[in-house]
Amino acid sequence: MKVGIVGAGMVGSAAGYAMALTGAASRIVLVDRDAALATAQAQDIAHAVPFASAASVEAGDYAALSGADVVILSAGVGQKPGESRLALLTRNAAVFEAVIGAVRAAAPDAILLVATNPVDIMTHVATRLSGLAPGRVIGSGTILDTARFRSLLAGHLGLAPHSVHAYVLGEHGDSEVLGWSGARVGSEPLASVAAQLGAAITADVRARIDEGVRGAAYRIIEGKGATNYGIGAGLARIVQAIGRDEQAVLSVSVVTQEAAGVRDVALSLPRVVGAGGVSATLTPTLDTAETEALGASARLLRETADALDL
């Protein structure tokens, strides 16, 4: 499976590294406007390959993306001092217009995997600009938030995160919704398992885990300037599901015809991901408060997309 990465910075290089180590892709091509950076990242990742897989890692221009099955979009511009979020979005939309045109010309059959933040809005932008079916333009969405949620729940319960099934929904951002109502451990409801293990899910525990999920990125950025390893692994997981046609259920963002009463909005819900991209969306179990919060998140995203005048 051939995967292109446009944007060889911290997130793009971490995704390439994760794919190389896990064998999620057999050929990885990094493209960046700074060709020297792309070359250096590709060489560094390639030097790790002998320890893990047989992946080929190289740098190139857009033409080198020819035949790619998936192209990860991690390019974008940073926020200027005093710049509004909408102004930043407008500039990133302009970047995407150029990038997506070049990607589509070189690899017209590729699934687009969006990592640039704010990822839900940029997924909406990429869907509009590419003309692809929504299921073939996938935002990383809340896949990392979901991993954080499961990790913190597992730590409280003293269990492996793989045994915890819970999702973060809506925006990848401050309005995201932790789906406590539908959380399961194995096949059992979270509350039942927590009681059996003597690790009750109290209001204090919920508040601590909620803050742990929502505040993770802020703390990491304060300490090191950016988050990259977690999202790199999340992108590799999505690529793996596509490459192996897993039909895996992942919390990713795609433009959705209707969600929580809001039409034509990109946000995260549990999605079935396989070789063709997203083929189905599952309806999560939510209580009244969670349903209302998801609706508020969807409306916020829709209003932001409308303000961009796409």
Q: How far apart are CA 28 and CA 55, in angstroms?
A: 7
Report the number of secondary-structure helices (H) and strands (E) in the chain: 9, 14
The dihedral region occupied by 17, where left means phi > 0, alpha psi between -120 and 50, and beta the remainder, is alpha
Q: How far apart are CA 263 and CA 299, in angstroms?
A: 9
pLDDT at 88: 79
Consecutive H or E run containing 121:
helix 119-130
pLDDT at 77: 79
* Omega within 30 of 0 (cis) for the link into 134: no
Is 156 one of the annotated active-site residues of the chain? no
Which amino acid is present at 7?
A: G
> How far is CA 47 from each of CA 50, 56, 135, 170, 263, rounded to the nearest angstrom?
7, 10, 34, 38, 46
Consecutive H or E run containing 41:
helix 35-46
- Angle (CA) 170-172-177 rounded to 5° is 40
pLDDT at 89: 85
| Token couple for 267 | 């946000």
pLDDT at 309: 72
pLDDT at 96: 94
pLDDT at 80: 67
pLDDT at 85: 63
Count CA atoms closer than 13 A to 305's CA, side-chain side. 24
Catalytic residue among 124, 156, 165, 172: 172
Q: How far apart are CA 18 and CA 13, in angstroms?
A: 9
Q: What is the pLDDT along the chain (310 residues), one digit of tens a residue?
A: 999 999 999 999 999 999 999 999 999 999 999 999 999 999 999 999 999 989 999 999 999 999 999 999 999 877 666 766 667 788 888 999 999 999 999 999 999 999 998 899 999 999 999 999 999 999 999 999 999 999 999 999 999 999 999 999 999 988 999 999 999 999 999 999 999 999 999 999 999 999 999 999 889 988 988 889 999 999 999 999 999 999 999 999 999 999 999 999 999 999 999 999 999 999 999 999 999 999 999 999 999 999 887 6
